[in-house]
């Protein structure tokens, strides 16, 4: 999806439980975005935003990077339907341990379908559909994310090679395609819960995620 512009809109101090970060805000303008649901026409222009938490020196060696997609239910409410919150903590812990790194938090709730659609997908999952079947039943693609904004943000920061925390080969491919080298993939596997076993099984079997 072509961005006609990606701009840094803010850069501030950000103390956290994991240590001292900078928090940066980025906005990208997408011209003629592709619809994620054929029944919902896309606008001619869409603004996408992402937050970058940056710790330490990110230029002396390929930094640890996590691209985290927004999950209100997991990140804020500690939902056990998914593994997002545990992955967020794993990533912040890894960056903190290394003393440097970047967490890119992209506002792609529900793999880009939005919060209300994700909740409707949960309803369908309660009736027996898996995560992908539920998205498709609602008219959405299985995954609406393309990871171009995080790639562009990394390049704007002068980061052209990274150690990426992920289990999702599509993220590695997207960065490489955009010209950001993934010199190492660091596993984002976290302990499973009985309530997220099917969610993880679907990621492994239908989305090619590298989880056991
Ligand atoms: N549509 C939909 N999205 C979900 C569901 N559960 C979690 N998500 C979203 O999934 C996104 C996280 O994507 P995942 O596929 O779990 O993991 P990933 O980011 O692709 O891969 P990792 O880097 O390995 O974590 C977040 O945006 C969540 O809001 C669901 O049941 N349906
Ligand atoms: Zn989640």
Q: What is the mean pLDDT of each run of 10 residues along the chain (212 residues)?
A: 87 98 96 88 90 98 98 97 97 98 97 97 97 96 94 97 97 97 97 83 82 78
Cα–Cα distance list, 111 to 69, 78, 95, 100, 118 (Å):
7, 18, 24, 27, 9
Question: For this structure, is 11 an active site residue?
Answer: no
C-alpha torsion angle, residues 112, 118, 198, 165 (rounded to 10): 30
Distance CA 204, CA 15 (A): 35
28 within domain boundaries: yes
Residue range of the domain that includes 149: 10-206
Q: Is residue 52 part of a domain?
A: yes
Tell whether ligand 1 has an atom less than 6 A from the beta carbon of residue 86: no
Nearest bound ligand to CA 106? 1
User: Does residue 71 have its Cβ closer than 6 Å to ligand 1?
Assistant: yes
Domain total of the chain: 1
Query: Is residue 5 domain-resident?
Result: no
Q: Is residue 1 assigned to a domain?
A: no
168 pocket-lining for ligand 1 (C-beta < 6 Å): yes
Using a CB cutoff of 5 Å, list residues around ligand 2, an ion: 71, 74, 82, 84
Testing ligand 1's pocket by substitution, the residue of 65, 82, 190, 209 carrying the most ligand atoms inside 8 A of its CB is 82
In a domain, 95, yes or no: yes
Q: Are 85 and 71 in contact (CB under 8 A)?
A: yes
- Stated pTM of the model: 0.95
**CA nearest to 179, candidates 207, 147, 209, 208:** 147
Distance of CA 28 to the CA centre of its chain: 15
Q: Is residue 3 part of a domain?
A: no
Residue 211 belongs to some domain of the structure: no
Concerning whether 13 is annotated as a catalytic residue, the answer is no
Q: What is the pLDDT of residue 1?
A: 66
End-to-end CA distance of the chain: 32
Q: Is residue 63 part of a domain?
A: yes
- Local structure of 3: helix, strand or coil: strand
Feature table: binding site: 66-71, 82, 84, 87, 109-111, 131, 166, 171
CATH label of the domain that carries residue 40:
3.40.50.10990
For position 49, what pLDDT does the model report?
96
């Amino acid at each position: 999806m072509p961005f006609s512009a990606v701009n840094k809109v803010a850069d501030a101090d950000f103390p956290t439980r994991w240590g001292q970060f900078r928090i940066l805000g980025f906005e990208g303008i997408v011209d003629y975005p592709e619809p994620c649901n054929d029944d919902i026409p896309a606008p001619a222009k869409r603004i996408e935003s992402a937050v970058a938490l940056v710790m330490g020196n990110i230029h002396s060696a390929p930094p640890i990077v996590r691209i985290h997609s927004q999950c209100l239910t997991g990140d804020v409410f500690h939902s056990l339907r998914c593994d997002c919150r545990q992955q967020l903590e794993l990533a912040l812990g890894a960056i903190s341990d290394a003393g440097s790194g970047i967490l890119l938090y992209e506002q792609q709730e529900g793999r880009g379908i939005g919060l209300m659609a994700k909740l409707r997908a949960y309803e369908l999952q309660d009736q027996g559909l898996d995560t992908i079947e539920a998205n498709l039943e609602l008219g959405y693609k299985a995954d609406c994310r393309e990871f171009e904004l995080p790639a562009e943000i990394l390049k704007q920061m002068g980061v052209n090679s990274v150690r990426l925390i992920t289990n999702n080969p599509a993220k590695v491919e997207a960065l490489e395609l955009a010209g950001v080298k993934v010199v190492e993939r660091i596993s984002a596997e976290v302990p499973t819960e009985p309530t997220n076993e099917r969610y993880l099984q679907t990621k492994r079997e239908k989305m090619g995620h590298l989880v056991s």
